[in-house]
Amino acid sequence: MLSFLIRLFRKSGKRSYRDISPDEIFMDSKNLPDFDLYQFEGRLEKPISSKVFTILGSICLLIFLVFIFKFGDLQIVHGSFYKDRSENNKLKQILVLAPRGIIYDRNGEQIVWNQKSEENNVLSLRKYIDVSGFSNLLGFVKYPAKDKSGFYYEEEFLPKDGAELYLNEILSGRNGLELIETSVNGEVISQSVIQTPIKGEDAILSIDARIQGQFYKIMKDLANSVNFQGGAGIIMDVNSGEILAMTSFPEYSSEIMTDGNDAQKIESYYNDPNNPFLNRVIAGLYTPGSIVKPFLAFAALEEEIITPEKIIVSTGKLEIPNPYDPSKPTIFRDWKAHGAVDMRRAIAVSSDVYFYQIGGGFENQKGLGVDRIKKYLELFGFTKKTGFDFEKEATGIIPNPEWKEKTFDGEIWRVGDTYNTAIGQYGMQITPIQAVVATAAMGNGGKLVTPSILFTATSTVVSGIKIDGDAKNFQVAKDGMRMSAKEGTASGLNVSYVNIAGKTGTAELGARKQFVNSWVIGYWPYENPKYAFTVVMERGPVTNLTGATYVMRQLLDWMHIHTPEYFDNDIQ
């Protein structure tokens, strides 16, 4: 019995597992199975709490209920409203026109600016200074065109002339876009800018608006009082080419042309025989008369055909013997008998006989001849584009045998044609802007600058050309121009506040020579030139004695009072 119990105890107390070998323990501590310990691989993990599933389920249920509610609101409660709106409302992309840059004069005065339109919030109206004398300088623009529904089928301002055209790349901005939602009745429901317009850059002109306006007023008043058909005037820096004033009479209104609403007034501009759209400074062609004489004097000195001191006597005419009938010589008249004159005085009193002889020759006095006359006038820029406006600048004519043969059906060139060309008559035609460039070159010692209306322009010599002449020869011509202003034909410019060098010209026109172009050119101050000027009054009666010199004198006197900064105070 005892042995049975002992066997039973041993059987019931037998272990159901085997002992773990020490090798197996060390093997586990080294992680030989290569478990990812950072992911807790091979270890027991705590199970996720049931609360987490409860919270997550509640959130999902809430989102689902909100979605069902909104869906019911859109489809059931307001379904018909949104259906009508989607069918009847329209989305349109509207062009937002970029405002053009503002134009200022050299003193910061606005002369062209923008103004919001009361009727059209996508278009800025272009406004111009309310002073006469600026239209041919500033030009005008045409607004972008739109159809009856208000859709712009032209998206840019179209510049038509003047600074608006010359500076268009600076003044133009970049258009924007606006998205507008409208109802079937055309009511705006919502709108937003999706591309902001960028305004054009501003421009500062070299023009002084005060001088510009006064220049035109004086010119207009004279033209209306003594019946000149038109006129042009320009003042330019002799070193930089900056234009201080540039005006043309008559003119149109930039604002009327830009607005385009006054059809009657616009039609009157187009029907005006005096052509207010012609910028006479750059595109008006005029017979110059005696203003060419200083340049021919320089040419004669350069070619060494005469000395400045040689005396030529003017009895009031030059007689060329007629080889076929000695009793009938060909006579070339001077405008008066000047007596004995040297070169400086010949320029001052504008002796035609003197320039007949150095131009075409007479007896023992050699002449330049028409080819050299043409050569030197072209060196000073006559009949050449100045570079101010290559498209609209006129070039003009200096007569020569080829021109005469072509123009007058094969006629030959005669010495009388050379004589008349030497005093700026016959078929010669130039522009006022060419005259001011040539005058500036005389004053600055031979530099042909390019005119510019931009402030702080950099001096640019035309095509790299500088007239290669002896400084003494320039000085003789300049001395003659100074003498002209002091006691000669330009003595109307002999003012007390600045020393002027000048030269007048009177070109006869018409079959009976009943009309004249009245010219004056010059620069100041004589000792150290800063500004050159040219004025021409167009096609006035030959009996009138008041012309371009009067215009320039009135302007100089006004400037002396209102803009004295442009004069040298060191009068000698």
- Distance CA(501)–CA(506), nearest Å, equals 18
Nearest to residue 203, comparing CAs of 247, 264, 159? 159
In this structure, are residues 137 and 253 in contact, taking their beta carbons and an 8 Å threshold?
Answer: no
Supply 528's token pair: 């150290």
- H helix or E strand, kind and range, residue 162: helix 162-166
- H helix or E strand, kind and range, residue 125: strand 124-128
Per-residue pLDDT of the chain (572 residues; tens, 9 = 90+): 555 545 555 555 555 555 656 555 555 555 556 656 555 555 555 666 777 778 888 888 888 888 787 767 666 766 666 565 555 556 667 778 899 999 999 999 999 999 988 777 778 899 999 999 999 999 999 998 887 776 777 888 999 999 999 999 999 999 888 777 666 555 666 666 678 889 999 999 999 999 999 999 999 999 999 999 999 999 999 999 999 999 999 999 999 999 999 999 999 999 999 999 999 999 999 999 999 999 999 999 999 999 999 999 999 999 988 877 888 888 999 999 999 999 999 999 999 999 999 999 999 999 999 999 999 999 999 999 999 998 899 999 999 999 999 999 999 999 999 999 999 999 999 999 999 999 999 999 999 999 999 987 665 666 567 899 999 999 999 999 999 999 999 999 999 999 999 999 998 887 778 889 999 999 999 999 999 999 999 999 888 889 999 999 999 999 999 999 999 654 44
- Distance CA(165)–CA(343), nearest Å, equals 45
Phi, psi for 511 (deg, rounded to 5): -60, -35
DSSP 473-494: HHHHHHHHHHHHHHHSTTGGG-
> What does the DSSP 8-state code read for residue 16?
S
DSSP 384-399: S--SS-TTT----B--
> What does the DSSP 8-state code read for residue 147?
-
Helix/strand/coil for 119: coil
* Helix, strand, coil tally for the chain in percent (to 5): 40, 20, 40
Supply 129's token pair: 């200074």
Bridge partners of 124, per DSSP, are 116
- H helix or E strand, kind and range, residue 233: strand 230-237
Nearest to residue 172, comparing CAs of 138, 143, 200? 200
Bridge partners of 454, per DSSP, are 205
Q: Which pLDDT value is given to residue 182?
A: 67
In this structure, are residues 235 and 531 in contact, taking their beta carbons and an 8 Å threshold?
Answer: yes
Q: 394, exposed or middle or buried, with CB in 10 Å at 0-12, 13-18, 19+?
A: buried
Instruction: Taking each helix axis as running N to C, give the angle between helix 293-302 and helix 471-487, from 0 to 180 degrees, rounded to the nearest 10.
Output: 150
Query: Please, what is the Cα angle at 195 between 193 and 200, to 5 degrees?
Result: 115
For the chain, the distance separating the N- and C-terminal CA atoms, rounded to the nearest angstrom, is 161
* Beta strands at 203-204 and 103-104: parallel, antiparallel or unpaired: parallel
Supply 301's token pair: 């000195």
| Domain spans in the chain, listed from the N-terminal domain onward | 92-204, 209-566
SS3 annotation, 20-58: CCHHHHHHHHCCCCCCCHHHCCCCCCCCCCHHHHHHHHH
Nearest to residue 286, comparing CAs of 403, 395, 431? 431
Q: Which pLDDT value is given to residue 262?
A: 95
Helix/strand/coil for 546: coil
What is the assigned CATH class of domain 209-566?
alpha beta
Q: Which pLDDT value is given to residue 31?
A: 58
Q: Which pLDDT value is given to residue 145?
A: 85
Q: Which pLDDT value is given to residue 570?
A: 46
Supply 206's token pair: 């070299």
Nearest to residue 288, comparing CAs of 516, 452, 81? 516
Q: Which pLDDT value is given to residue 538?
A: 95
Nearest to residue 276, comparing CAs of 244, 246, 260, 254? 254
Supply 18's token pair: 């085997």
- Find where tokens 């069918």 sit: 87
In this structure, are residues 127 and 183 in contact, taking their beta carbons and an 8 Å threshold?
Answer: no
Query: Is the Cα torsion angle 41, 46, 50, 52 positive or negative in sign?
Result: negative
Q: Which pLDDT value is given to residue 12?
A: 52
Domain 92-204 has CATH 3.90.1310.10: yes
- Distance CA(147)–CA(150), nearest Å, equals 5
Chain centroid to CA 171: 10
Query: Please, what is the Cα angle at 565 between 564 and 569, to 5 degrees?
Result: 75
Q: Which pLDDT value is given to residue 70?
A: 73
DSSP strand E in 418-495: where? Answer: 447-449, 461-466
Could you give the count of Cα atoms lying within 13 Å of 82 in the half-sphere of its Cβ?
9
- Find where tokens 């609209």 sit: 392
DSSP 298-311: HHHHHTTSS-TT--
Q: Which pLDDT value is given to residue 263?
A: 95
